[in-house]
Structure 1
Amino acid sequence: MRTICFYFQVHQPLRIKPYRFFDIGDDHYYWDDYSNKSIMRKVAQKCYLPMNALLLDLINQYNGAFKVSFSISGVCLDQFEAYAPDVLDSFKKLVATGHVELLSETDGHALCALKSKDEFTRMVKKHKEKIKKHFDGYEPKVFRNTELIYSDTIGATVSEMGYEGILTEGAKHILGWKSPNYVYQNSIKPELKVLLKNFQLSDDIAFRFSNKTWADYPLTTDKFVKWINNIPKEEETLNLFMDYETFGEHQWADSGIFEFMKALPNAVFNGSDFGFSTPSEVLKHAKMISPIHVPTPISWADEERDLTAWLGNDLQDEAFGKLYELEDKVKKIDDAEIQRDWVYLQTSDHFYYMCTKFFSDGDIHAYFSPYDSPYDAFINYMNVLSDFILRVEKKIKEIKTV
């Protein structure tokens, strides 16, 4: 039987408060607690709580035949703990069914895989420990890097850390004529299996579901099952990867998105030869067909499926470079607040807000940003980073004088 693999990214960044030039050296707390709590509670009510309840009902209704997987960023777990313990409890109930898989990622939802192997492995270890703490000793076996960022060398590092597989984007410029509906292998470490997102069918749900100008609107379960039945029989795995906030937040409840998901398993079971599997189950049962070569990093963002959403202009490159110049010094500092801020300042969203793209991609960036412009995002971040640098330098001086 062929299978559908659902993966949901669960992430909320810690947003930085308005931070003026004159705050540098005086105010060492950077986080907008009011906005972060308000947004977390809003998304909890619109997405996390109702969708978790729906998935739990589906898992019970189909006696575990319906399955999904999640990657929950460490930044998001911290906010669940602080602002939404009811959401954390609802995820625990899902995992306790045995039919929901949790994936590993970087604790800070960071781009460190692009800059520092040491910081990357440190952040992955920290996230793994956080998952183990919150979910009764659970240990993930499959990895999902921030924003599905992947390359041959990143995959090799993930393999060295002991993971069986990794998720990434089925980017056109990488696949060429090949299909994303197979299991591939890393070209450096062939034992690492690679699952590729079917972006066409994933984005039909995640982005186009409520778009009334879309030629295939409205999307029904019958229509969706018809599409998956058109997939060639030899293609075993359909990977549907998307933001969890698709449900109720990006696609509002009145769009019918919850009803669609509620009806989908029955439509699949009765109208196709597909079932549902977690990533680990796919990797266990599906055979690898060939290596996939990804010499330059890819992601699931924007039309290009590259890194330009976060590192595509001078503003982003300047902020990113200045941040990671501090890595060696931060490693030497035994200070909980410095280490906390170091992790949170690496969150990819801060660089995403600085993107200066136009047209449809630019509209998406503007939708997610709390700033009026990319330049405001850059100035605010660099003011905070300037203060953080002062704190780091002060701590290093104290270490040298001991």
Structure 2
Amino acid sequence: MKTICFYFQVHQPFRFRRYRFFDIGNDHYYYDDYTNESVMTKVAAKCYLPANELLLKMLRKHKGKFKVSFSISGLAIEQFKLYAPEVLDSFKALADTGMVEFLAETYSHSLVSLKNKEAFFSQAEAHAHLIESLFGKRPTVFRNTELIYSDLLGELVAEMGYQAMLTEGAKHVLGWKSPNFLYCNSINPRLKVLLKNFKLSDDIAFRFGNKGWNEWPLTTEKFVKWILKLDKREEVINLFMDYETFGEHQDKNTGIFDFLENLPVEVLKHKGLSFSTPSEVVADLQPIAPVSVPHPISWADEERDLTAWLGNEMQQEAFDKLYTLLPKIQLCKDAKLLKDWDFLQCSDHFYYMCTKFFSDGDVHAYFNPYETPYEAFINYMNVLSDFTIRLNAAVPKSDLDQELSNLTDLLAAKEEKIRKMEDEIKNLRKRRTSVKKPVSTKKKV
């Protein structure tokens, strides 16, 4: 008996506008609203809305036999509210079926789990609260940003009370072992670990529309045959992928929606196959062994490590500089600063700085607003510099910082007073010139 666990990631970052050096200290708005709205509108039309509509149809048709799961970042949800509220409504309709599980993750789709325990817990709690408020159920399964996982990270997730976590079934971690079983954390066995079957997942997510692939075209019959040929003792096939696979990464013309619609029909023809959500997998199966992951892994690129975000000096400098601000952030009460802090932490900003080439280069170029990694780095650091100035003013570190903050406030107040006086002078001049001279009524002789 085998069960298929479908999981989809949904995320969109708030992209920054071109923020120049001379903007630092003068302009505190960082975002490219036009690009953010354009991308969201495009992806909603090509993927989110048609895919959700199709899934709703499938869930109703198969009456509890077909199930899927999602994690939706807090930043994606904020963009739905701003630019595409109908998408959020369509996810709520999926939740109402009772056949969809929503997972927890970091609110900002960040790398904070690699830096600070308290900040990691705070972001996870903020996201879990958001998901519960939207979909009516608190998540019990955790999915870290980009499936980043290690033994120590798993222990932290177990400490937060989650029963399971998703990650990559990386070859260098598993060796001869199969990802098609339930595992547990090697430090805290109470945390169950679901491993992505990257071969079958990537057949759909990356190779489906590639006419040069020796298995093209991929049909549901062929795909299910591959599953049936797996070792009979294997218990779970974890198919994890970006939700944008459907309609965006793989265009509608490739037949990807037809494939998705027909897959449960073909799967459910076989008594030995079923569908489950991650929490159902954990409830129904026993872990066969601990999985040892001493160093962090992810689902990105060939290496399945952290080099997509922290593989070069630019990325590391930006990452370290960002989190040196954490002590002050923990004291900050300014809502605008805290919102900008959420957006600054998004892992995409570091991804844009990646200098990888070859097969991974195309992936890194996808939806990248910058022409070069260096340009991405400079832009980010300019934004971070302005943010740091604002944060230092809001949360002074020393007497000198407090004095500078007071002087800044004093100067701002004086500038505002001068501006008002200048406006008053202009108004007085306008009134004076508007007074007409009396016209003489004396007749000429």
TM-score range, shorter chain: over 0.9
Aligned to 1:313: 312
CA distance in 2, matches of 1:144, 1:191: 16
Give the TM-score of the pair, scaled to structure 2: 0.89
Aligned residue for 2:366, secondary structure, equals helix
Aligned to 1:72: 72
Aligned to 2:353: 354
Cα shift at 1:368: 3.1
- 5+ unaligned residues in a row in structure 1: which ranges? none
RMSD: 1.2
Partner deviation per Cα, 1:370-400 (whole Å, 9 max, x = no partner): 1101011001101000101101111112997
CA distance in 1, matches of 2:289, 2:367: 37
The code of the aligned residue for 1:92 comes to: K
Q: Is the contact between residue 225 and residue 271 of structure 1 (CA under 8 Å) also seen in structure 2?
A: no
Cα shift at 1:270: 1.1
CA distance in 2, matches of 1:231, 1:98: 30
Pairing 1:312-351 to 2, within 5 Å after superposition: 312-351=311-350
CA distance in 2, matches of 1:182, 1:87: 34
Aligned residue for 2:379, secondary structure, equals helix
Aligned residue for 2:301, secondary structure, equals coil
Q: Which portions of structure 1, spanning 4 or more consecutive aligned residues, are displaced by more than 4 angstroms?
A: 398-402
The code of the aligned residue for 2:203 comes to: D
Partner deviation per Cα, 1:211-244 (whole Å, 9 max, x = no partner): 1111101100011011001111110000000000
Residue 259, structure 1, aligned to residue 231, structure 2: no
Aligned to 1:303: 302
Pairing 1:69-218 to 2, within 5 Å after superposition: 69-136=69-136, 138-218=137-217
| Higher Rg of the two aligned structures | 2
The code of the aligned residue for 2:74 comes to: G
CA distance in 2, matches of 1:230, 1:399: 67
Give the TM-score of the pair, scaled to structure 1: 0.98
Cα shift at 1:271: 4.2
- 5+ unaligned residues in a row in structure 2: which ranges? 407-445
The code of the aligned residue for 1:385 comes to: L
CA distance in 2, matches of 1:49, 1:157: 35
Q: Is the contact between residue 142 and residue 166 of structure 1 (CA under 8 Å) also seen in structure 2?
A: yes
Q: Is the contact between residue 167 and residue 195 of structure 1 (CA under 8 Å) also seen in structure 2?
A: yes
- If asked which structure has higher relative contact order (CA below 8 Å, sep 6+), I would say 1
Residue 40, structure 1, aligned to residue 40, structure 2: yes
CA distance in 2, matches of 1:397, 1:235: 58
Partner deviation per Cα, 1:72-131 (whole Å, 9 max, x = no partner): 000001111111110000000001110000000000000000111111001001101111
Residue 220, structure 1, aligned to residue 219, structure 2: yes
Q: Is the contact between residue 49 and residue 90 of structure 1 (CA under 8 Å) also seen in structure 2?
A: yes
Q: Is the contact between residue 13 and residue 75 of structure 1 (CA under 8 Å) also seen in structure 2?
A: yes
Q: Is the contact between residue 229 and residue 272 of structure 1 (CA under 8 Å) also seen in structure 2?
A: no
The code of the aligned residue for 2:318 comes to: A
Identical counterparts, % of pairs: 62
CA distance in 2, matches of 1:223, 1:363: 28
Q: Is the contact between residue 225 and residue 272 of structure 1 (CA under 8 Å) also seen in structure 2?
A: no
Number of residue pairs aligned between Structure 1 and Structure 2: 401
Cα shift at 1:19: 0.5
CA distance in 1, matches of 2:192, 2:367: 32
Q: Is the contact between residue 183 and residue 195 of structure 1 (CA under 8 Å) also seen in structure 2?
A: yes
The code of the aligned residue for 2:89 comes to: D
CA distance in 2, matches of 1:357, 1:224: 31
